[in-house]
């Protein structure tokens, strides 16, 4: 166990950068090790996130699973027309989860899921080529979902519950490509808000036509995060009425959707030791039309079209029980980017990705197991641009070549009683 | 168990260390190419335009946006080395000599309570004292104010010489010794590549002073020249060739030279129109009475005495009408001075009134009014009695604009003749030495005529709004300098078979708005 802690510390020490889109799939180490497919897998309390209706199928009365993932990501940018190049700076984010269920009787289980399915942290070098779009962004949202799982009959169970979200946002960019103050420092705005809350809901079912086949479906609703009265801090703005902003702090309003998503999947127990799973996710990103930042004090609004499209993820995974205490897992997924051509903004520099996953569980005792997973996200090199930034009413594309990868090692525990 | 953890950890570390790599990374040495040139030690020789001078001052941000510094940034992609500049102490730009201010701060665009913008000096106490000399050598050998012959003049960097007017305050800051020459200090660095842009001040001083200096054609001794004189074209050719040869030695891989733009394309001369004066009916009526006598009696009278030709009488007519678009009155030194005659019979005008008519004419479309005249035209300076009436004395109306505010067609011709001769020397020597050549004259003509498109707009030479020229109307903005850097890179790519990328000039600012003014 000590070694394990040491290893994870090493990961932190060697982290070179963090980035990622703003849906971060790392809500259960066992599912993550199988291509993050868990909607039709009855394994441990991770179900509270992936498919609450399945909780009633867990054998034990009390089930807990918790874990944390380190997200290390690198993004490189270059523009061969101008010779500009850079990469994102070191930073790390740690999505975590805590899932628990309690079987009240044969047909009813209650549970709770605490997770961080949305978040983003990208840190470009200050004043880099795309600094008029973003220098740094950090989004975080914590989902807390109390839930129930009800067994309707031997074949069907349903589950779900309300979702409470609390989130925070920090976003920094330069005002334009070239505006500086009297000392030549780039004019900048940083918006910051935390304690943004709202409610949503989730519902699911699980269908078990045979001992071997499990089919699951899960839905989580859209949740709009409305930042109202957050702080926008303008710095390095020249002292002039010709400039539509002044140094200082003003309130801002902005909205960022956490889109609805649904998952449909199946798992099949080929033998006592071998199980495989397949899953389809759809995230309804088209709700994210524009990131608009309004300043009630009268400064001009910042309108940033996003125009995302709904996107699919295709997942496969498998697990094999090597011994009765040791289980190996592997998986793969194809993650389609919601970003359309011409809308590739460097705040979420994600194009289509392939995720290669693996991991294992080790039962330390009857009650207690450790779960380890890793995910390597591979992105194709992409020539992309964001065409909707404007200065003086003229749209000015920002483009170049991006190449990203991400590595997510994760550690979790499973406890059952 | 331990083994699995160890292996997983190892695999994890291997992957974390695996940073994304481009198929073809521009950071790698072979993406771009220096061609036949070697940019490891790039040295720039020139005047204010090389130093990064803007807004009537040299200040740190302007220096960082000097065209050779922008070029050096791109050269880094093809083996370029560090580019050291004699940076000023601050972003105010004012200069002191032993604590006494000898040059004011940079101009910023201030906006008054009525919303009217005007260039005014940035407030603050400048910290650059030229007696604090910098040590070491500098890649940017841009010396604001230097004329061609100054580059080979010993003592041009002497601090005591600054007060005596024989040395240059900017060069005095970083000259290797009091007796050093600019070109000597530049050549001593044994540049592997150089830029060379001199000669602008050989006509510019004359031009911006409204032609108040002398055209020194035929005078081969520049030591006798005044600051606003036009350098003799043979003197220019000699020192240019001498200075260029000092740079273009066997140890250098090459260089880029720049010619001299036509001053009539710069906003210093294109901003203030020749006919900016609006008049109401009452004022126009008073002026018509005042000048009616002059037009209809005095001028024909002088013609009758044989003192003026019919052409001069026609040229001297002054007419003001109610409404917009009245032409300013100017003092034209090429006209016969009639003031002495007007003080004699039969006119018997008092001297101060006679002097107003001495060499006056109304401006024509062929005159150029300087930017500095904008704060002068229309300003009242008193009144004078004329036939029992109090006539207000107003600059540009009843008081003709002084010589320093007007570039007459004759003066423009002097400048253009010298410019053409200089440019012919420059291009000839560039070709002869197989150097890259940048036709700045054509670039600014393009910016003036059609504008230069870039990612985000069109760069033009219009004052304050065009983006290319800084608030002094003579020097460029960072965006303007970036355009020059790009055109120089184009020329280098062509001449030296190099492949060096150009910058996106939209990232470089234009004029600076600020109300931090006194």
Kindly report the backbone phi and psi dihedral angles of residue A309, in degrees, each rounded to the nearest multiple of 5, phi listed first: -115, 155
Give CA A39 to chain center in angstroms.
17
| Per-residue pLDDT at A16 exceeds 70 | no
Q: Three-class SS of residue A76?
A: strand
Name the one residue in this structure whose structure tokens are 């970083």.
Answer: B174
CB contact under 8 Å between A238 and B74, yes or no, is no
Tens-digit pLDDT profile for residues B488-502: 999 999 999 999 999
Q: How far apart are CA A311 and CA A282, in angstroms?
A: 6
pLDDT computed for residue A12 by the predictor: 32
Terminal-residue alpha carbon distance, chain A: 21
Residue A16 touches partner B, C-beta closer than 8 Å: yes
Write down the mean pLDDT value for chain A.
91
B506 CB contacts (<8 Å, ≥6 apart)?
Answer: A177, A178, A391, A396, B454, B455, B456, B457, B479
Q: How far apart are CA B463 and CA B49, in angstroms?
A: 18
Integer CA distances (angstroms), A417 to A46, A48, A62, A114, in order: 15, 17, 5, 20
B434 conformational bin, left if phi > 0, alpha if psi -120 to 50, beta if neither:
left
Residue B5 touches partner A, C-beta closer than 8 Å: yes
Give CA B93 to chain center in angstroms.
16
CATH number of the domain that residue A15 is part of:
2.40.160.60
- How many domains are there within chain A? 1
Nearest to A135 by CA among A93, A182, A91: A91
The CA distance from A142 to the nearest CA of chain B, in Å, is 26
> Cα B366–B368–B369 angle (5° rounding)?
140
Chain B partners of A372 at a C-beta cutoff of 8 Å? 5, 8
pLDDT computed for residue A10 by the predictor: 34
B235 pLDDT band, cuts 50/70/90, is very high
DSSP secondary structure string for all residues of B187-200? HTT--SEEEEE--T
Q: What is the largest CA-CA distance in chain A?
A: 75
Mean pLDDT computed over B450-479: 96
pLDDT computed for residue B342 by the predictor: 87
Burial per residue of B142-163, b for 16 or more beta-carbon CB atoms within 10 angstroms, e otherwise: bbbbbbbbbbbbebbbbbebbe
The DSSP letter of residue B273 is: -
Tens-digit pLDDT profile for residues B11-24: 665 555 567 889 89
The CA distance from A24 to the nearest CA of chain B, in Å, is 18
A16, A90 contact by CB (below 8 A)? yes
Tens-digit pLDDT profile for residues B321-354: 999 999 999 999 888 899 988 888 888 888 888 8
Q: Which domains does chain B have, with CATH numbers?
A: 42-270+408-507 (3.40.50.1110), 277-362+368-407 (no CATH)
Chain A partners of B503 at a C-beta cutoff of 8 Å? 82-83
Nearest to B11 by CA among A368, A359, A69: A359
pLDDT computed for residue A8 by the predictor: 37
Integer CA distances (angstroms), B298 to A297, A392, B291, B319, B341, in order: 65, 56, 10, 15, 10
Nearest to B187 by CA among B244, B258, B259: B244
B9 pLDDT band, cuts 50/70/90, is low
Which domain covers residue A10, as residue numbers? 2-416
pLDDT computed for residue A20 by the predictor: 34
C-beta atoms surrounding B110 within 10 Å: 23
Point out which residues pair with A360 in neighbouring strands. A328, A372
The larger pLDDT score, comparing residue A347 to residue B156, is at: B156
Chain B partners of A14 at a C-beta cutoff of 8 Å? 13, 16-17
Which B residues in the span 22-41 are in contact with A, Cβ-Cβ below 8 Å?
A: 22-27, 31-32
Q: How far apart are CA B277 and CA A238, in angstroms?
A: 34
Tens-digit pLDDT profile for residues A345-374: 998 888 899 999 999 999 999 999 999 999
pLDDT computed for residue A11 by the predictor: 34
pLDDT computed for residue B10 by the predictor: 61
CB contact under 8 Å between B515 and A75, yes or no, is no
Q: What is the largest CA-CA distance in chain B?
A: 122
Q: How far apart are CA A97 and CA A94, in angstroms?
A: 10
Tens-digit pLDDT profile for residues B193-207: 999 999 999 999 999
The CA distance from A381 to the nearest CA of chain B, in Å, is 7
Name the one residue in this structure whose structure tokens are 């018997």.
Answer: B348
| Per-residue pLDDT at A110 exceeds 60 | yes
Sign of CA dihedral B119, B124, B127, B131: positive
């Amino acid at each position: 166990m000590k070694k394990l802690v040491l290893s994870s510390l090493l990961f932190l020490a060697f982290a070179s950068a963090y980035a990622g889109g703003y849906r971060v799939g790392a809500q259960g180490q066992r599912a993550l090790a199988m291509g993050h497919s868990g909607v039709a897998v009855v394994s441990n309390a991770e179900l509270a996130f992936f498919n609450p209706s399945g909780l009633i199928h867990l054998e034990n009365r009390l089930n807990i699973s918790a874990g944390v993932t380190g997200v290390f990501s690198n993004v490189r940018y270059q523009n061969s027309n101008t010779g500009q190049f850079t990469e994102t700076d070191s930073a790390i984010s740690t999505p975590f989860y805590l899932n628990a269920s309690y079987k009240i009787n044969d047909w009813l289980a209650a549970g709770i899921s605490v997770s961080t399915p949305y978040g983003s942290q990208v840190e470009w070098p200050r004043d880099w080529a795309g600094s008029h779009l973003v220098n740094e962004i950090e989004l975080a949202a914590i989902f807390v979902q109390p839930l129930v799982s009800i067994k309707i009959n031997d074949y069907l169970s349903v589950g779900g519950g309300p979702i409470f979200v609390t989130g925070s946002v920090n976003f920094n960019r330069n005002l334009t490509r070239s505006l500086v103050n009297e000392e030549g420092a780039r004019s900048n705005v940083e918006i910051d808000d935390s304690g943004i809350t709202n409610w949503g809901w989730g519902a699911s079912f699980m269908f078990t036509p045979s001992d071997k086949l499990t089919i699951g479906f899960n839905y989580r609703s859209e949740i709009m995060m409305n930042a109202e009265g957050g702080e926008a801090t303008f710095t390095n703005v020249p002292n002039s009425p010709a400039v539509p902003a002044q140094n200082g702090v003003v309130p801002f309003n902005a909205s960022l959707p956490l889109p609805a998503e649904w998952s449909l999947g199946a798992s099949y127990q080929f033998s006592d030791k071998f199980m495989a799973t397949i899953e389809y996710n759809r995230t309804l990103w088209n709700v994210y039309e524009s990131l608009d930042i309004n300043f009630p004090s009268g400064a001009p609004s910042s309108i940033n079209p996003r125009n995302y499209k709904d996107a699919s993820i295709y997942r496969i995974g498998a697990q094999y029980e090597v011994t009765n205490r040791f289980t190996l897992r592997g998986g793969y997924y194809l993650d389609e980017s919601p970003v359309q051509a011409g809308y590739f903004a460097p705040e979420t520099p994600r194009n289509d990705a392939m995720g290669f996953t693996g991991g294992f569980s080790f039962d330390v005792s009857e009650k207690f197991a450790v779960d380890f997973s890793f995910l390597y996200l591979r992105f194709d090199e992409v020539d992309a641009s964001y065409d909707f930034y404007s200065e003086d009413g003229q749209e000015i594309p920002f483009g170049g070549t991006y190449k990203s990868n991400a590595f997510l090692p994760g550690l979790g525990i499973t406890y059952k009683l | 168990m331990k083994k699995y953890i160890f292996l997983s950890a190892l695999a994890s570390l291997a992957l974390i260390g695996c940073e994304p790599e481009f198929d073809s990374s521009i950071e790698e040495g072979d993406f771009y190419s220096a061609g036949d040139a070697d940019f490891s030690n790039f040295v720039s020789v020139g005047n204010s335009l090389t130093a990064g001078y803007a807004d009537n001052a040299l200040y740190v941000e302007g220096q960082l946006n000097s065209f050779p510094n922008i070029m050096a940034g791109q050269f880094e992609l093809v083996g370029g080395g560090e580019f050291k500049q004699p940076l000023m102490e601050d972003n105010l730009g004012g200069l002191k000599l032993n604590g006494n201010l000898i040059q004011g701060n940079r101009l910023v665009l201030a906006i008054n309570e009525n919303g009217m913008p005007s260039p005014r000096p940035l407030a603050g106490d400048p910290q650059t004292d030229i007696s604090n000399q910098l040590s070491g050598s500098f890649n940017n050998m841009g010396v604001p104010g230097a004329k061609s012959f100054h580059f080979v003049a010993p003592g041009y960097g002497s601090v005591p010489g600054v007060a005596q007017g024989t040395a240059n305050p900017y060069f005095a800051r970083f000259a290797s010794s009091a007796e050093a020459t600019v070109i000597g200090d530049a050549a001593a660095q044994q540049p592997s590549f150089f830029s060379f842009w001199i000669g602008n001040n050989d006509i510019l001083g004359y031009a911006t002073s409204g032609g108040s200096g002398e055209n020194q054609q035929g005078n081969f001794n520049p030591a006798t020249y005044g600051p606003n004189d036009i350098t003799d074209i043979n003197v220019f050719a000699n020192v240019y060739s001498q200075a260029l040869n000092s740079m273009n030695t066997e140890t250098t891989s090459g260089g880029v030279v720049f010619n001299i733009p036509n001053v009539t394309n710069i906003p210093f001369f294109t901003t203030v129109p020749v006919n900016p004066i609006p008049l109401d009916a009452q004022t126009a009526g008073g002026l018509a009475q005042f000048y009616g006598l002059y037009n209809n009696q005095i001028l024909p009278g002088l013609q009758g005495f044989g003192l003026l030709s019919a052409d001069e009488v026609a040229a001297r007519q002054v007419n003001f009408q109610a409404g917009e678009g009245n032409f300013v009155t100017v003092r034209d030194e090429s006209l016969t001075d009639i003031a002495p005659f007007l003080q004699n019979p039969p006119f018997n005008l008092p001297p101060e009134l006679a002097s107003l008519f001495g060499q006056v004419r109304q401006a024509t479309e062929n005159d150029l009014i300087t930017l500095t005249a904008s704060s002068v035209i229309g300003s009242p300076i008193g009144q004078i009695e004329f036939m029992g009436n109090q006539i207000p004395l107003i600059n540009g109306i009843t008081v003709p604009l002084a010589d320093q505010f007007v570039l007459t067609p004759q003066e423009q011709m002097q400048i253009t003749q010298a410019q053409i001769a200089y440019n012919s020397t420059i291009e000839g020597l560039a070709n002869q030495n197989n150097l890259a050549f940048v036709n700045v004259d054509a670039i600014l003509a393009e910016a003036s005529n059609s504008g230069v498109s870039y990612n985000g707009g069109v760069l033009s030479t219009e004052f304050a709004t065009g983006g290319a020229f800084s608030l002094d109307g003579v020097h460029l903005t960072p965006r303007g300098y970036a355009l020059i850097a790009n055109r120089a890179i184009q020329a280098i790519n062509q001449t030296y078979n190099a492949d060096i990328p150009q910058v996106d000039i939209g990232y470089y600012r234009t004029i600076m708005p600020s109300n931090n003014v006194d």
